[in-house]
Structure 1
Amino acid sequence: MEWLTDTKVPIGKLIARFVDFLNDHASGFFDAISESLEWLIEGSTDLLVAVPPLVLIALITALAWWLHRRRGLTIFTALSLLLVINLGLWEETVQTLVLVLYATMFCMLIGVPLGIHAAHHPRLNAMLRPVLDLMQTIPTFVYLIPTLILFGLGVVPGLISTIVFALAAPVRLTSLGISEVPKSLLEAGESFGCTRMQQLWRIELPHAMPTILAGLTQCIMLSLSMVVIAALVGADGLGKPVVRALNTVNIEKGFEAGLAIVIVAILLDRLCRQRPQTP
């Protein structure tokens, strides 16, 4: 067995050299991305924090009622957010909400077009499958190492790592939804003279929308699962009190921060679900 261990394949060294190469020759590019994303996220956070909490809760509650017209969800939205204020975690909750929303937005902007393209091109789909498997199975801490080197401490490496980790869900489910469109519908569209783009917008996307929305909710849940890990590289939000509670073995603070994360997860999941169609 010594011959096998003596001839180690230098995978780690090659990746380390590649990251060092990027850091040496493209540091200005990564600094520009870091500053732009940091300005965007911190600006959005400051804007939401400046709004009185009760006003923001009223707006979110009204949004819940407008989207779903469900009294139980509306009451739960208001009471759960009031509980967050009572726990003293409102600002951290807003920071987490902004981080998750931006990560989800970038994932959907990248993942939905990529999933559509993969559904229309089987070779691309076959090439993406192992890459997506790799992105979802590599331990999330591994993502923090290169992003920390390239983007420095702060919210940006946490955001980039979250995007990489959560991107696979919208790509897979968008591709699945487009692939499951019945051929009879596509043939009917062709018979009426629809172009490829018209078929996409009028037939494929409406039929695949429930699956795409499932990818959206999965993306939100995966992004929230990275909140605590992103706090290890300086990202603000509910991950910070969890990490502090872990370091000080503070059960009370850890449980309260964890409860706030659960509240955010439930609210985002319920708000982003497709409204059931009434007959």
Structure 2
Amino acid sequence: MAASCWGLPELLCEFPALSDKSLRLMRLGIDNGFRDIVRHYSDQIDAATRPLQWFLNTLENAFTNTPWFIVLAIILGVVWLASRSIKIVIGSAIGMCLIGVFGLWEDTMTTLAMVAVATLIAIALGLPIGILAARSDRFQSVLSPVLDVMQTMPSFVYLIPVVVIFGIGKVPGVIAVVIYAVPPMIRLTNLGIRLVDKEVIEAADAFGASSRQKLWGVQLPLSLPTIMAGVNQTIMMALAMVVVASMVGVGGLGKNVLQAINNQFFTIGFLNGFALVAIAIIFDRASQAFGKRLQKHSEVGHD
């Protein structure tokens, strides 16, 4: 009598896997085909990424070459406009001054430039995609599993196709950060628009508002607090991806953390990690305060 596995014949317990040779040939075929496509369109790829390279270099040069006190004043001004909280402004000033005292100002500015560019691109991509998902249940049903895969995929895996297509450098790192950080923006934009009170939408319909007027005049203003939560999460995920992106040639704090890991430099790793945490806290507190202000404003307007 044949051996059994969980009450089933042994033959049924063995998964019909492909042979090692078949798997190797399949992987080689896919990898070689992918590389051939990239080589064939390399000029077009370089031309497409050139504006992004220019934008990133321009912003990085502006951050690193501008006197530190001017950059600090601008950052504190933005924090104040977003939060209107003197406590958050003072905490931000202390954090940025400590970064300068520890000699990490230039690397922090490089990281800020990359995070700023990645966040802007993620918002520019995530906002319209989230709006489309909110307006189409069919599109949302197709998009949801894609976002699930993007959010559960290990962050290191994003570097493989990015490096194969774009090579080593800052632009591939920014693209990897954008791919990793854009799902929260899409999800929370979709959620915010769908959570708008149906009675408000019906009132807009009663006044004869078009779909575009409802979107820009009703849905987006009322969903701004949720959308700002998406911006907050996008910034946090971009900062979290900085260290991973340093493996493909991105400079800044992430590069220092990676070098500290490779060389077992505890102090360097701790200080650069502190700088990343300080930036994350500044962005988090300022964007959360701004989101709460928007929420109060929308509640007053709705009442």
2:162–2:172 Cα contact (<8 Å) kept: yes
Quick one: which of 227, 230, 253 aligns to 2:268? Answer: 253
The yes-or-no answer on 1:120 pairing with 2:135 is yes
Structure-2 separation of matches of 1:50 and 1:171: 34
Structure-2 separation of matches of 1:170 and 1:87: 34
Trace 1:11-30 onto structure 2 (pairs within 5 A).
Answer: 12=27, 16-17=31-32, 19-30=34-45
Instruction: Render the CA deviation track for 1:147-170: whole Å, top value 9, x for unaligned.
Output: 112111111111111111111111
Trace 1:215-230 onto structure 2 (pairs within 5 A).
Answer: 215-230=230-245
The yes-or-no answer on 1:161 pairing with 2:192 is no
Trace 1:165-180 onto structure 2 (pairs within 5 A).
Answer: 165-180=180-195
Match of 1:37 in 2: 52
CA shift, 1:12, in A, is 5.0
The yes-or-no answer on 1:106 pairing with 2:121 is yes
In the alignment of these two chains, the number of paired residues is 279
The letter for the 2-side match of 1:80 is G
2:127–2:185 Cα contact (<8 Å) kept: yes
Match of 1:236 in 2: 251
Structure-2 separation of matches of 1:34 and 1:204: 34
1:19–1:146 Cα contact (<8 Å) kept: no
Alpha-carbon RMSD: 1.9
Pick closer, same or farther for the CA change 1:8–1:15 going to 2, 3 Å. closer
Match of 2:207 in 1: 192
The letter for the 2-side match of 1:29 is Q
Pick closer, same or farther for the CA change 1:219–1:2 going to 2, 3 Å. closer
The yes-or-no answer on 1:4 pairing with 2:17 is yes
What TM-score does the superposition give when structure 2 sets the normalisation length? Answer: 0.87
Pick closer, same or farther for the CA change 1:41–1:245 going to 2, 3 Å. same
**Percent identity, aligned pairs only?**
37
The letter for the 1-side match of 2:17 is L
1:67–1:275 Cα contact (<8 Å) kept: no
The yes-or-no answer on 1:51 pairing with 2:71 is no
The letter for the 1-side match of 2:186 is V
* Worse-matched range after superposition: 37-46 or 85-94: 37-46
Match of 1:148 in 2: 163
Instruction: Render the CA deviation track for 1:171-224: whole Å, top value 9, x for unaligned.
Output: 111111111112111110011111111100111111111111111000001111
Quick one: which of 259, 272, 275 aligns to 2:287? Answer: 272
| Bigger radius of gyration among the two | 2
2:130–2:189 Cα contact (<8 Å) kept: yes
Q: What 5-or-longer segments of structure 2 have no aligned partner?
A: 1-13
Structure-1 separation of matches of 2:118 and 2:102: 26
Pick closer, same or farther for the CA change 1:219–1:9 going to 2, 3 Å. farther
Structure-2 separation of matches of 1:118 and 1:2: 38
The letter for the 2-side match of 1:90 is W
What TM-score does the superposition give when structure 1 sets the normalisation length? Answer: 0.94
